[in-house]
Amino acid sequence: MNSYPSKIFHWIAGREVESNDYFAKINPADEKKLADVARGNRAEADQAVKAAVESFEAWAGMSVNERAEVLDRAIGLIEQKRDELAEIVALEFGESKKGAQGEIDAAIKCGKFFAAIKSFEPEILESSLPNRSLRLERQPAGVGVLIVPFNNPAAGVAWKIFPALLCGNTVVLKSHEDTPYVGVWFAKIFQEAGLPDGVFDVVQGVGPEIGQALVENPKVGFISFTGSSRTGSAILKASADRMVKVSIESGGKNPIVVCADADLDKAVAGAVSASFIDAGQRCAAASRIIVVEQVYDEFKKHFLEKVKTLKVGVADDANYGAIINERRMQAILDAVKGAVSRGATLLCGGERLKLLGFFIAPTVLEGVLPDDEISRTEVFGPVPVLYRVRDFEEAVALANHSDYKLSSAIFTESLNRAEEFIKRMRVGVVRVNAPTYGSEPHVPFGGLGLSGNGWREPGRQALDFYSELKQVSIDYHGQS
Ligand code: NAD
């Protein structure tokens, strides 16, 4: 591909900035080096934050409408260059171009949702005091850091950058080590769309190095983080003393409950799709398939039949692609081996495919205890576990038995049972007769427990994170 660079730099104050050190980005689908990537350090983090600080007043001072116009122009350019971005995502993430195109379309829709918000109407309140007018206005949250995961890299950047810029913030995006070019590509598009230099900066490098330096920078006023719970917790600790506003969107251990009265074809299709989407590398992928005993054997038979038809690779008809890097592939295989050594039954897969690239065969386990490590930790791979339960009561209890509380689904034809499940699940998302993943730009997404700390992106609720309310009152003397 022509547009993928052999060297990837930081993007600071509207231009590429070199580093002293570089690391290799490997294509997960063929194990070849794609590029050398800048390995940023604290000085480079500070340089990027400085650019964002210096550009803040002018950008924050523009009207929402003017900022939305820049967003509109950027969306037009992304639409024009949709194919180029899809190729970058497909290469970095190790998936089919068709799969990547679906993600770009989601990113564009997200941009359009935010660009359509042309003004923030103040809320008018009535004061209990005489001769006082009162209103609430939105103001930018400040200079922020956006930290993204490797999965769905284009949609991940879009979810953060569009609301962050619309609200008048200036930001430094920390690219993921495994998907380094997507953020720079977006920043270049925004420059072409007329975004002033410095408003959107991008740095490259290793999380505990440049990521940590950004989080510790005293000029940073907010941090929007999507990634693992472990990193989220480290970021909260590192920024706690300065009381920085931090949004954490992290992992999931999402259950699907299959009831005796479920449409089994629909349940099998939904559970397979939710378990293997992006090779299980999605926060909202399903990893715990909880089936009541009356239909367990029948469900398992059809589930395994469908799993065996899955195609793995980067061809457009593939169901899923590669694991993002060799280390993570090995960790997934080790997690499966560990579960089997503790008594789990491997129903299929459990091995690396004999292909170039980091591909794992579709894997299914059963006979795992609810407190086994593989039941409690996020594997982030194509490895669902089937659980046999007595009845609905046990299914709900097991579904809720997790420190992660992101998404969940139930397959049932009973409206009463569906409503009961909705009421009793302590999670951020409940779906009835549909997979655990899939979101829309106007709908806020997020979880409880280890899955997040209460903020929501996208939807209008994202504006509550990326802006701060200002209470304004005007006292007048009441005489003309
Ligand atoms: P990760 O935590 O390993 O890395 C995420 C980002 O944090 C990377 O850019 C990394 O460089 C950076 N980072 C690492 N250490 C840091 C530190 N000390 N300070 C600052 N930054 C640091 O996550 P990952 O494995 O790359 O991403 C997958 C995870 O993201 C999964 O847990 C998945 O469930 C989660 N995720 C959640 C959502 C959601 O919306 N809830 C969406 C996508 C992914």
- Give the residue whose CA is nearest to atom 42 of ligand 1: 283
Cross-strand partners of 472: 135
Q: What is the pLDDT of residue 2?
A: 59
Would the pLDDT of 195 be above 70? yes
Distance CA 250, CA 164 (A): 19
pLDDT tens string 50-90: 999 999 999 999 999 999 999 999 999 999 999 999 999 99
User: Rounded CA gap, 214 and 49, in Å?
Assistant: 8
Rg over alpha carbons for the chain, rounded to the nearest Å, is: 23
pTM of the model: 0.96
- Tokens encoding 325: 């890097």
| φ and ψ of 145, to 5 deg | -120, 130
CA 391 to ligand 1 center in whole angstroms: 36
Tell me, in angstroms, the distance from the centre of ligand 1 to residue 159's CA: 15
> What separation in Å is there between the alpha carbon of 104 and the centre of ligand 1?
20
In whole angstroms, give the CA distance from residue 228 to residue 328: 13
The 10s digit of each residue's pLDDT in 386-432 is 999 999 999 999 999 999 999 999 999 999 999 999 999 999 999 99
Helix, strand and coil in the chain, % to nearest 5: 40, 20, 40
Sheet arrangement for strand 33-38: 7-8, 33-38, 22-26
Alpha carbon nearest to ligand 1 atom 9, residue? 176
Q: Work out the pLDDT band at 439, boundaries 50, 70, 90.
A: confident
Does 208 sit in the ligand 1 pocket, CB within 6 Å?
yes
- Give the confidence band of 479 by pLDDT, cuts at 50, 70, 90: confident
- Alpha carbon nearest to ligand 1 atom 13, residue: 207
Whether 228 lines ligand 1, by a CB cut-off of 6 Å, is: yes
* Structure tokens belonging to residue 172: 């430094």
Q: Render pLDDT for 264-317 as a digit per residue (tens, 0 to 9).
A: 999 999 999 999 999 999 999 999 999 999 999 999 999 999 999 999 999 999
Confidence at 1, pLDDT banded by 50, 70, 90:
low
Alpha carbon separation from 165 to 314, 340, 395 (Å, rounded): 34, 48, 43
Q: Could you give the residue numbers annotated as active site?
A: 283
Task: Please give the distance, rounded to the nearest whole angstrom, from the Cα atom of residue 268 to the centre of ligand 1.
Answer: 30
Query: What are 332-341's pLDDT values in tens digits?
Result: 999 999 999 9
Among left, alpha and beta (phi > 0; psi -120 to 50; other), residue 380 is left
Burial readout 224-260 (b: 16 or more C-beta within 10 A, e: otherwise):
bbbbbbebbebbbebbeeeebbbbbbbbbbbbbbbbb
Is residue 185 in contact with ligand 1, taking CB distance under 6 Å?
no
